[in-house]
Structure 1
Amino acid sequence: MHASGWRLIKDKTNDPFSQKTQSTGFYVFLCIGCCTIMNRTNWITIVNCTAGGGKTGRDWPLIESLLKKHGIRFEPYLTGRRLHASIIARNKIEEGYSKIIVVGGDGTMNEVINGVFAQTRIHTTEVMLGMISVGTGNDWARMFNIPADYEEAVVAIKKQKTFIQDAGMVRYLKNGKEWKRYFVNIAGMGFGAKVVERVNRMRDRGRHGTMVYFYNIFSSLLGYRSTPARISIDGLTIDRKIFLMNVGIGKYNGGGMMQVPHAIADDGLYSITLIRKMGKLNVIANLKRLYNGSITEHSKVETYTARSVQIDGPGVLKIETDGESLGTGPLQFQIIPRSVRVISGEMTA
């Protein structure tokens, strides 16, 4: 119940409190306080019904019943358009909520994170984020061992075992205008960003899944050329022809590829994997390495850690974050150490 509802009750002539005081200020204060306490104890769920090719929408009644079964009090909010999850998260935090369950995939989590950073009421670490994964890639959930089984994920949320991770922020260009975006997993440039762009186009037409991803890997290779760029990594400037580059907080992207195996989510540093210009057959021959993490041992691969990264021309370098296509360079990355509180699954040593 919102404070405005309480004011309406106070204005009624039959309100029993009206005979006890001439001032409404105390009651407004009391009711706002009650609403804030209620908001702090309740969760909201932000549900992306289109995630996973519509699987979230189909499975939401089951997930909803499991949340109720385990005694989790929540208010559901369903997204209706791109970036809607950001708006819902920002507005609800401003209203007093601080516990959010994300029901969807990596892209939904990314939108919610941007809503968390857009609000100004509380520090970002005062917001607790849980996740029930129903997306396509689920790479962020993989990093924190969040169960794929819905009921196990609900139990993990109920336990509220939290981890405070770093977040990233990148400035980029789109349609000639500078934008910024926060992320909690990986920003990919070059070939990876091209694949994501094509995968997302097919997703918007209702085509999704592992086979769609592999199809776009091979079809994107046909006309792809590495991009020349000047890269500044904590002040170290290098010139490279980039086939693929990842600036990561997490290890996984692309639906289970371990492209940044040296990433540590709370060390206050980006972990970087840079793959220099590579022939098409060489790329295909090393796909397995992208999954098992050994890609960093390849002679064409460089790894770094840094607090800030800048990438400039002369080539046009595309970028995606957490599986969402953004725009192009020039790019400026800034790390935001230990700024996001998330609920994890049972982590192994």
Structure 2
Amino acid sequence: MSHFVKHNAGSWFIIANPTSGNRNFSKQWKEIQQLLTNKKIDFSVAFTQFSKHEIELVTTAIQEGFRNIISIGGDGTLHHVVNGIMMQRYVKTSDITIAVIPLGTGNDWIKTYNIPNNVEKSIEIIHRNKTILQDIGALETDATSISYFNNVAGLGYDGYIVNKLNSLKRFGAIAYLVAGVSGLLFYKKSVFTIIFDDKKIETNCLMTLFGICKFSGGGLQFTKDINTSDGFFDITIAKNLNLFDLIYNIKKLYNGNIVNHKKIETYKTKEITVIPKNLNPFIQADGELIGTGKVTAKIIEKAIRFVVN
């Protein structure tokens, strides 16, 4: 029998993004430390110092024996933590558990699991440690690079909005909506060839979304009947939706009924390729821009364990 103790195995490694959140981070961090200590949750911490630093920090933590990671920040922080886990080769990705303490304005992933946007309640959820093995999406773009996502990815109009909105993020969900709706006046729709299973759809397309979870764009629901660990993407193809359609159906964008609109088609599939004609639309993953143009999405079943409510 080995007498080596698995170093750090039961402890949490925290990756915190000090630039997320509108309030004073050091004050929030003091509160978080206190709450974790009160709950006797053992942890080490590292703070991100530059864009995508999470990927490096995750790799180091896993090498040091950590198997439980807490992401403190918004959807972007979580996205990079997930990418770090999927890219490392030390352990099976499903051996890793991620929990989230949400800060910042963009927190769409937590909504699917009813995790409140609240530090104290999210730590209570971590303490309870109820988990689910969730599917993860892999995106292959022209640049032969692979990006992973844990929530919703897509290309076309939603990528265009993410590109426009990086400067507006701090204004929250309403800015998303205002910029999102008004941007339709300027956005040029493209013809997409969409290939999956035995189908080939060629259509004028506002956007094509690959969904694992329910919400994107600050609480919009564009996906139908999601199940986060059924091994399928929930695909939404928004065809010729225009400004009037969106304004007229604004409630449906938030309650999920937009998927029943006659200009929207939904499918379930494990792999899909989208080839835009003549334009190079932006591709977004979890609200982060990852490239432009053609993309193939593949599902990786039950890839990472997440702490959920």
TM-score (norm 1): 0.84
Query: Is contact 1:43-1:98 (8 Å) kept?
Result: yes
Determine the structure 2 residue equivalent to 1:267. Answer: 230
Query: Is 1:187 the counterpart of 2:153 in the alignment?
Result: yes
Q: 1:221 aligns with which of 174, 181, 184?
A: 184
Distance in 2 between residues matched to 1:268 and 1:55, nearest whole Å: 40
The CA deviation at 1:58 is 4.4
The CA deviation at 1:151 is 1.8
Letter in 2 for 1:190: G
Determine the structure 2 residue equivalent to 1:344. Answer: 308
Query: Is 1:144 the counterpart of 2:85 in the alignment?
Result: no
Superposition pairs of residues 124-139 of structure 1, within 5 angstroms: 124-139=93-108
Identity rate of aligned residues, in percent? 32
Determine the structure 2 residue equivalent to 1:10. Answer: none
The structure-2 alpha-carbon separation of the partners of 1:56 and 1:188, relative to structure 1 and needing over 3 Å to count, comes to farther
Give SS of 2:225's match.
Answer: coil
Determine the structure 1 residue equivalent to 2:49. Answer: 80
Which runs of structure 1 show a deviation greater than 6 angstroms over 4 or more consecutive aligned residues? none
Q: 1:316 aligns with which of 277, 280, 285?
A: 280
Letter in 2 for 1:129: I
Query: Is contact 1:56-1:104 (8 Å) kept?
Result: no
Structure 1 runs not aligned, ≥5 long? 1-28
Query: Is contact 2:107-2:117 (8 Å) kept?
Result: no
The structure-2 alpha-carbon separation of the partners of 1:90 and 1:54, relative to structure 1 and needing over 3 Å to count, comes to farther
Query: Is 1:46 the counterpart of 2:15 in the alignment?
Result: yes
Q: 1:200 aligns with which of 142, 145, 166?
A: 166
Give SS of 2:171's match.
Answer: coil
Query: Is contact 1:94-1:120 (8 Å) kept?
Result: no
TM-score (norm 2): 0.94
Distance in 2 between residues matched to 1:211 and 1:271, nearest whole Å: 25
1:154-203 deviations in whole A, cap 9, x for unaligned? 12111211100100000124xxx332100111002211111111111344
Over aligned residue pairs, what C-alpha RMSD do you find?
1.7
Distance in 1 between residues matched to 2:224 and 2:132, nearest whole Å: 19
Distance in 2 between residues matched to 1:227 and 1:253, nearest whole Å: 22
Determine the structure 2 residue equivalent to 1:21. Answer: none
Larger relative contact order (Cα-Cα within 8 Å, sequence gap ≥ 6) = 2
Query: Is contact 2:7-2:64 (8 Å) kept?
Result: no
Query: Is contact 1:137-1:253 (8 Å) kept?
Result: no
The CA deviation at 1:56 is 4.7
Structure 2 runs not aligned, ≥5 long? none
The structure-2 alpha-carbon separation of the partners of 1:69 and 1:290, relative to structure 1 and needing over 3 Å to count, comes to same
